[in-house]
Amino acid sequence: MNEPLKIAVAGLGTVGAGILKLLAEHGDMLEGRCGRRIEVTAVSAREQGKDRGVSLEGLEFFQDAAKMARDADADVIVELIGGADGIAKETVEAAITASRHVVTANKALIAHHGTELALKAEAAGVSLAYEAAVAGGIPIIKALREGLAANGIKSIHGILNGTCNYILSRMRDEGLEFVEVLEDAQRLGYAETDPEFDIEGVDAAHKLAILASLAFGRKLNFDGVHIEGITRISQMDIRFAEELGFRVKLLGIASQNDHGIEQRVHPCLVPADAPIASVEGVFNAVVAEGDFVDTLMMEGRGAGEGPTASAVCADLADIARGIQIPAFGIPAKKLEASATVSMDAHKGAYYIRLMVIDRPGIFADVATTLRDNEVSMESILQHGRGAPGEAVPVVVTLHETEEVRASAVIETISHLDGVLEAPVMIRIENL
């Protein structure tokens, strides 16, 4: 009989407790599939006596996760603490130094330090696995690194944050404003008390940086991700998008061309009949375009106890089977840096919503601005007229143009007499 794979779990929050539950329930099944048992020997958390719905009986307990990574009787350290630096990074580095495999769900840590940690792990001869860091229970890391290994990936895009997708879905379905849905999402546990990383796009950007590195075989470059959140999206934008045949989604999009890699996270108008437009609520979806497989889409729950524990245990199963693959598909020392394609170089169509005083001449001023910047208007929407001095919404959509021109148009329009607030711009993606 093979010796069990001994694991120590750093962090006993929702996911940590979920892993203990999953292994208790499916331990025999995993043993049959892996050829050896996966056995928890130690855990670390701030409080030992807290009720987490799982038994810690017989497990060595550490308050210091880094000490556990150095001293516990374990082959694998599972890091579930979170955060790009601090004790999470210290714990992972201590585990690698002690020649222990690492499994983590920490997207911030991988996005900021993944290349460096992969180099250290390979030098130590251990695995650095992070399936749970991106899109929860969707096995997109394994798909890109292994299932699509024979493909050149042309682009990748997806809904990478369930909180934002939940908010935008409810705004459309129930006619609610952003703030109303955010408050409800916090009450239901779909959004954090401090939701900034989610609603400002940072969480999705962490995940996109990881996917881009995997897809294109390049060093991680989180600083090269253009990031915008959803806080300026209003019920008006949702309604106008529907009228134009689109839905609003926060997408992460990465592509590679002769000038480098473009990485961007921002709200998009996507055609209502596009497959990704039908992904609703807290679900995530990732779409990869390969030169031999064409387009592949994977959808599922992007967070939560069960999906994330499932992804962690998938990595543990690989280690138990003796499968060891470079963290980013090729040896980390062969990962090269890539130039960042500036957003100014992006070309696409645009939705612009203005709040204007309904007076003669305002449309002529907008048209002159478009002409002066050599930008072509596709359509214009205005419903009804406002009372004297009252603001009314006007939506202009632009044909494909360079971002730098669209930005110049918006900057000029924002200073026109009669435009009452900064225009809202949403990029149109014909996915």
Q: Which residues are catalytic?
A: 207
Q: Which of 158, 419, 212, 417 is nearest to 328 (CA)?
A: 212
What are the tokens at 353? Answer: 């919503």
What are the tokens at 310? Answer: 């499932």
The dihedral sign for the CA sequence 264, 269, 275, 276: positive
How far apart (Å, rounded) are the C-alpha atoms in residues 268 and 22?
37
Vertex 403: Cα angle to 397 and 405 (nearest 5): 80
Q: How far is CA 165 from CA 250, 274, 284, 365, in A?
A: 7, 15, 8, 36
Q: Decide: 243 and 151 in contact? Cβ < 8 Å.
A: no
Helices and strands counted in the chain (H then E): 13, 16
Q: How many Å from the N-terminal Cα to the C-terminal Cα in the chain?
A: 51
Phi, psi of 221 (to 5 degrees): -145, 70
Q: Decide: 425 and 352 in contact? Cβ < 8 Å.
A: yes
Distance of CA 219 to the CA centre of its chain: 18
Query: Residue 200 carries which DSSP code?
Result: T
**Helix (H), strand (E) at residue 16:** helix 14-34
Largest CA distance in the chain: 85
